[in-house]
Amino acid sequence: MTRTLAEDTPSADETASQGASTPSLPVAQAKAKPSAKTKPTACRRCHSRKVRCSGGQPCQNCRQAGKTSDCTYPRRNRLVKVSQRYLDDLIAENERLRAAQSTGGGGPPPPSTPAAPRQDGREVACVGGQQAISLDDRPWFFDLNIPNTPILLGEASDAAFATRFRQAVAGGRHIPRVNYATDEDLLALSDTDCEWPSPSRARFLVDVALRYASRHYHIVRRSKILEGLEQTLANPARSSDSLLRSKLWALFALGEMYSARSADAAENCFPGIHYFARATRIMRIVSERPRIGAIEIRLLLSFYSLALNRRHTAYTLAGSAVRLAVVMGLHVNVPSSQLTNVAAREHRCRVWWTAYTFDRLWAAKLGNPVAIEDNEIRVDFPSDQPSLEGTVDAGDFADAGFCLARINLARVAGKITQSIYGRRIHQESLSYRVQEALSDLRAWADELPSHLHLNSRGSGSSEAAQNPLPLHLSFNQCLVTATRPILLHVLRTHVASWPPRETDDRAPEPRDPAPPIPAVAMTVADACIRSARHSVQLLKEAWIDGSFATFNYFYAQYMFSAATVMAISSLLPSGADNGSDGEHFEAAASILYQVKNNGSFAGREFCRHIDAIKTAIEEARLRKAGAPSSSASPKVSTNTGGGITAAARGQQNTDGAALTADPSGLLPTPASTTGAGMGAGPAQQQLWTTQNGITGTALLESSLHQLLAQPALDLQFIDSSIYGDGSYSQGLYWPDVTPGGWTPDAWAAP
């Protein structure tokens, strides 16, 4: 195998004629095919005089004329064929030299060592910019023993962060995702006939699906769906609209999923999976002239795919919906003269923004790029339509304020993922990007309408109104995603002061004292912990009052993400706030175990990580117990450069009293729940109720207010540790890119 390589150097013949000792590329070693000898290049002086040049440095003509200083040769690009093995050897040698230099033991390369060819312009771009520090230079691929198909892992995902946490305290490898509905099962189901539900069952399933889907995301028009359903039930044989029938199949799947409390133990009996597989038949052909129904069906299938834990499928379907919407022109305003129907115009607008939201949120879960940039969008935001009041179309459109809040939060989530975890080169430092993310979240919280604040019940609202709980949980997740790299760095600083892991019988070597942690970093890390703690409390309340659906992927994901942060907090030095975070972790794990036992694919995946985290926590506690004294832990520096003189852990606890456990010792009881107003006294409610209604959010802490008011966060201790002395040459995350020991049986589903 050969590869064409362009070199900005003279040719081999030119170099030989100029008296060079070694060629720029050893073509003789490349085993290239023999070619005709190329004509030597004349020097610039001979070329301008149009005389024959003898070659050499200087050439004979220039030597005789006494113009040796003018005897120069042009530098040209030549295409040289070299062997693949030679390029691989060069790259391997380059990596060895870099590793030697990073450890301080490598000297300059010998003169005979050729420089590795530059593969792209990344090194040049890094001179003036900074790559996302949370990533290694190399993408993180995981080998699942599938021939030639390594799996790309996004550092922004919750599972990846859980792996990084475990690696920081106890080592270990990434746990691959194997709990999901397989392609083979879905293909087999899609080829079999699915029985149409009875009229009463069909109406029930559609009503459940519309209640969950339409109240949080605008995908279909309720009036049109109900009208189409009745027509199909009245004349099933005469219904020829394939898009309508496919949408109904997808709605049946969603309705059965949300109405079920558990899945049957039999194979392929996940709630609604038969309806879902039947609905996917229409995806076999991509319409050349798509209708808006083609976008709706993709959004419905994308939404359900998350319940099957098929995150890549959901992300792909959402991106496909965005591209179909672009083909239809939904990303721009259609002239009113060409579409006079107000309801149809508003539906087009809202379907576009739902596709946009799905694409942003799903990409944020995986750490992948989005399908369209914001500067390409020219369509209006959703709005309430007073002209539709009193018509049948009025019930098709939910509160525009809720839609707008969801859109803006999705935009912030996508921005955070690309800014902090993206692989692009950034001109700004980590400090600036984290502060910008927190400022964006603060602006979102300030602009949230009052009717979308959490009420005194904390997680509920009237049946007719939209429940704002998903918005606030998503907000907390965004804040956790933006700040948990700092939290992980703080944890690693503490781990550096622990005794080493006992891997052999040798006496442990003395540990250098860990550097002090600035209070700025502790405040940012504390914001991450407070947000996660708030999410755990809200989700526990949702579990108690029954609004936590078994197969709600989002709630399970939020619970797992928050549980990971609670596990980290439980390993940090005890303070006024984190004393009960170990109990919060256990309560979250208990709920996830119940979700898993009820048949949730996501619950099965997350519980594997929970089991591994518990093992890592036990090992970490053994290491901490071996420390000589608590004084070995890093101190919190009061020199923040921004006027903050108190550590974040010394602040007043605003999260309420600890929840009283149930007989199992894990789950809270409704009577003992004191968070967010459930059974809380006036003083406790005052602690939870804030000036803008974002109960319990970490953005309202006074210390974080001061941080956001600063021109720039003082996180140089992290920036310098990564970009300066090279001690963290691979960034905040240290990818394990050699997981060769994994076998499918090792993680087989129980």
- Among the candidates 74, 106, 138, a domain finishes at 106
Contact 696, 655 (CB under 8 A): yes
- Among the candidates 80, 106, 132, a domain finishes at 106
Residue 241's contacts (CB-CB under 8 Å, 6 or more residues apart) are: 228
Q: Kind and range of the H or E element at 142?
A: strand 141-142
Q: Clarify whether residues 202 and 81 are in a common domain.
A: no
Q: Clarify whether residues 210 and 298 are in a common domain.
A: yes
Residue 747, in any domain of the structure: no
Q: Clarify whether residues 720 and 620 are in a common domain.
A: yes
Look-up: residue for tokens 């085993």? 31
Q: How far apart are CA 121 and CA 573, in angstroms?
A: 44
Residue 710, in any domain of the structure: yes
Task: Pick the closest to residue 247 from 188, 216, 205 (CA basis).
Answer: 205
Q: Which two tokens stand for residue 569?
A: 């907090």
Q: Clarify whether residues 403 and 484 are in a common domain.
A: no
CA dihedral sign, ordered 636, 641, 645, 648: negative
Q: Clarify whether residues 519 and 635 are in a common domain.
A: yes
Q: How far apart are CA 567 and CA 681, in angstroms?
A: 29
Q: Clarify whether residues 220 and 335 are in a common domain.
A: yes
Residue 386, in any domain of the structure: yes
Residue 127, in any domain of the structure: no
Q: What is the pLDDT of residue 517?
A: 79
Q: Clarify whether residues 200 and 302 are in a common domain.
A: yes
Residue 159, in any domain of the structure: no
Pairing between β-strand 636-637 and β-strand 517-518 as defined by DSSP bridges? parallel
Give the burial class of 305: count Cβ atoms within 10 A of its Cβ; 0-12 exposed, 13-18 middle, 19 or more buried: buried
Q: What is the pLDDT of residue 711?
A: 59
Amino acid at 383: S
Residue 187, in any domain of the structure: no
Q: How far apart are CA 43 and CA 46, in angstroms?
A: 5
Residue 232, in any domain of the structure: yes
Q: How far apart are CA 577 and CA 562, in angstroms?
A: 15
Q: How many other C-beta atoms lie within 10 A of the C-beta of residue 117?
A: 15
Q: How far apart are CA 292 and CA 283, in angstroms?
A: 14
Q: How far apart are CA 514 and CA 509, in angstroms?
A: 15
Q: Clarify whether residues 491 and 384 are in a common domain.
A: no
Contact 668, 500 (CB under 8 A): no
Residue 399, in any domain of the structure: yes
Q: Clarify whether residues 531 and 674 are in a common domain.
A: yes
Q: What is the span of the domain harbouring residue 547? A: 469-498+513-728
Q: Clarify whether residues 474 and 614 are in a common domain.
A: yes
- Among the candidates 50, 72, 106, a domain finishes at 106
Contact 30, 80 (CB under 8 A): yes
CA separation, residue 89 to residues 28, 86, 335 (Å) = 15, 5, 61
DSSP state of 627: S
Q: Clarify whether residues 90 and 200 are in a common domain.
A: no
Contact 636, 515 (CB under 8 A): no
Beta strands in 20-120, from DSSP E residues, in sequence order: 78-83
Q: What is the pLDDT of residue 123?
A: 35
Contact 713, 435 (CB under 8 A): yes
DSSP state of 418: I
Contact 668, 679 (CB under 8 A): no
* Number of structural domains found in the chain: 3
Residue 141 forms beta bridges with which residues? 152
Q: Which two tokens stand for residue 191?
A: 């080829």
Q: How far apart are CA 260 and CA 25, in angstroms?
A: 67
Taking 50 as the pLDDT cut, the residues of the chain under it are: 1-37, 103-137, 456-464, 504, 506, 628-632, 638-695, 720-750
Q: How far apart are CA 48 and CA 164, in angstroms?
A: 63
Contact 722, 488 (CB under 8 A): no
Q: Clarify whether residues 401 and 477 are in a common domain.
A: no
